[in-house]
Amino acid sequence: MAQSSITIKKPFDSHVHLRRGAVLRAVTPVTAEKFWGAIVMPNTDPIVATIEQAVENKKEILAALPADTTFKPLMTLYLTKDLTASVIEKIAVDKEKLIYGVKYYPWGYSINSQWGPRDASDASPVLHAMEETGLPLLLHSEVHLNAENHEEDPYDGEKLFLKDTLPRLMDKYPRLKISLEHMSSKLGADFMEKNGKEGKLVATITPHHLVYDRTDAFRTGYRALLNCKPLIKRTEDKNAIRELVKKGLPFISAGTDSAPHPESRKFSSCCVYGAFNAPVALELYTQVFDELGCLDKLEGFLSVNGPRFFGLKPAEETITLVKEDWQVTEPVVTEEGIKIWSVCDKTHGLGNEVIHWKIA
């Protein structure tokens, strides 16, 4: 008999963008409604590169929450050229536990990604300190520029990273805790199934890479809401990561990579990268696991594996979802009246999209 409802421990988002200012104030409550906590990305404007900046950003996030919300924003630092080993050591002895990871962005590849080293392994003192203290390195695992500073094919960025950059990084820093963020390819799925290890090498997967493929992204013209990094890839890539989550491996978890942008920046000739999915992410994950016939694996993926990697216990609070059709028909709107459109939007998505699960 088909399952019509499911109750799980409240989920955890291992990778989310909340931005700053009015956008932050608009989108933060959406994530907080569905997730008990989240690893917050540091490529904001301005970026979060110091402990002091992380404190400021966390205060801004907490101020945006409704009074009765217990949502926990878990902060990260941007791996810049100025980050030092002494900062990592200071984080390790912080009794308040503010910083949960350091994020590496390939230079010039994504939004506000121009501040880091060209190669993650170049940050030797910092990475050795992270080995010693157990602070995870969160990797945007793509290559943008080759040795001659020529741009690589953007659809090959993850493949190039996994074939060269990551093996070198793992050889040089064998005790480093690593998370491959928003893994999106068949090669990535194969690599993680072979090399993934609980507490050591893990990966996050977005809902949009589980739901869509490249034919969707270009259906009836380019679909702006699906313009993201890593790019949405071929059907075989989507199917490979769907098969990976079906296995219920303890080192694979949900990271929405929800990335909001004002409509003026998304619906423009220079459409910015970022798929805003916070209004539908939990429901899409549930839909995919239902389609795959593995709803019994959903709680581990959504609620257990992510927190465990960061040394946290799963939530005691639960959330119930029911199998019921609905549609996204309205944007999230900032206090200034700026609209932020979610993937699956009935009008701006692929066209009359229907989601089959919703929160009870």
Alpha-carbon distance 117 to 120, whole Å? 6
Tokens at 338, concatenated: 């700026």
Vertex 115: Cα angle to 113 and 121 (nearest 5): 95
The 3-state DSSP class for residue 130 equals helix
Alpha-carbon distance 74 to 220, whole Å? 39
User: DSSP letter string over 248-279?
Assistant: T-TTEEE---B----HHHHSSTTPPS----TT
Contacts with 170 (C-beta within 8 Å, 6 or more apart), sequence order = 176, 178, 201
Q: Are strands 318-326 and 5-9 parallel, antiparallel or unpaired?
A: antiparallel
Q: Please give the torsion angle defined by the CA atoms of residues 21, 36, 251 and 209, in that order, rounded to the nearest 10 degrees.
A: -50
Backbone CA torsion sign across 229, 230, 234, 240? negative
**Cβ-contact 160, 143 below 8 angstroms:** yes
**Cβ-contact 327, 346 below 8 angstroms:** yes
Burial of residue 56 (number of CB atoms within 10 Å: 0-12, 13-18, 19+): middle
Name residue, tokens 């932050």: 24
The active-site residue out of 257, 290, 296, 345 is 257
Residue 153 a catalytic site member? no
Closest CA to 275 of 202, 182, 337: 182
Alpha-carbon distance 329 to 120, whole Å? 41
Residues with active-site annotation: 257
